Chain A
Amino acid sequence: SQTIHQWPATLVQPVGSPLSLECTVEGTSNPNLYWYRQAAGRGLQLLFYSVGIGQISSEVPQNLSASRPQDRQFILSSKKLLLSDSGFYLCAWNKGISSPLHFGNGTRLTVT
């Protein structure tokens, strides 16, 4: 069966520090991968998605970047965190529009 792992579960980082959140999927190949951010009262905002290794699409301009170094690995990064980067980050995968979107358990990021 397929599983998605996302870590860490919680993270507290000072402003200006770097960020690396990792997400891996098991039990499938060539998934579509997504990073969403959830802020209170603002729903889920799609940040990045990837349909293959090295292919990244950015949905909104921001302080973050994403990379996909391996087929089932998706990384969210920042060189210098801002206070506004605080939020709940969710990684997800599917095999296309007709398959369900499977979510990880999320990372709660607090930038202080």
Chain B
Amino acid sequence: AQSVTQPDIHITVSEGASLELRCNYSYGATPYLFWYVQSPGQGLQLLLKYFSGDTLVQGIKGFEAEFKRSQSSFNLRKPSVHWSDAAEYFCAVGAGNQGGKLIFGQGTELSVKP
């Protein structure tokens, strides 16, 4: 069965600084990987996804993520964080042979200092 680990529960960065949120997955075959963002009290919004091909994927709001098979990682990055990026971020993995269900990590809460 697949699983996802987000090692950092909470991260604080200064506005304008770069950001990297870590995600490690466990799955025997090629995974489908996703990053979602959740604002307080809201549902989740898709930031980006990786299925195959180029291992560096671009998403909305200036985010990107890189799939590294050798490290079983799919870290999320942004070169310059804005105050509006403060939210909770979830990494998720899906399997092609299990319909559309996704398994989510524990989430990383991002705070942005002015």
Are B46's CB and A101's CB within 8 A?
yes
List the A residue with the shortest CB-CB distance to B5. Answer: A43
B90 on the A face (CB < 8 A): yes
Are A90's CB and B94's CB within 8 A?
no
Number of interface residues of A (CB under 8 A): 27
In the assembled complex, the Cα of A41 lies from the Cα of B88 at a distance in Å of 11
Residues of chain A within 8 A of B43, CB atoms compared: 90, 92, 103-106
A46 in complex: contacting residue of B101, B106, B107, CB < 8 Å = B101
B87 on the A face (CB < 8 A): no
Residues of chain B within 8 A of A49, CB atoms compared: 99-101
List the A residue with the shortest CB-CB distance to B97. Answer: A97
A32 on the B face (CB < 8 A): yes
Task: Give B90-114 as 1s and 0s: 1 = Cβ < 8 Å from A's Cβ atoms.
Answer: 1010111011111111110000000
Are B95's CB and A97's CB within 8 A?
yes
- Residues of A12-68 contacting chain B, CB below 8 A: 32, 34, 36, 41-46, 49, 51, 59
A69 on the B face (CB < 8 A): no
Are A46's CB and B99's CB within 8 A?
no
Q: B59 CB to closest chain A CB, in angstroms? A: 11
In the assembled complex, the Cα of A98 lies from the Cα of B97 at a distance in Å of 11
In the assembled complex, the Cα of A92 lies from the Cα of B103 at a distance in Å of 13
B104 in complex: contacting residue of A36, A94, A104, CB < 8 Å = A36
In the assembled complex, the Cα of A105 lies from the Cα of B42 at a distance in Å of 5
Residues of chain B within 8 A of A98, CB atoms compared: 32, 51
Closest 3 CB pairs of A and B: A103-B43, A43-B106, A44-B104
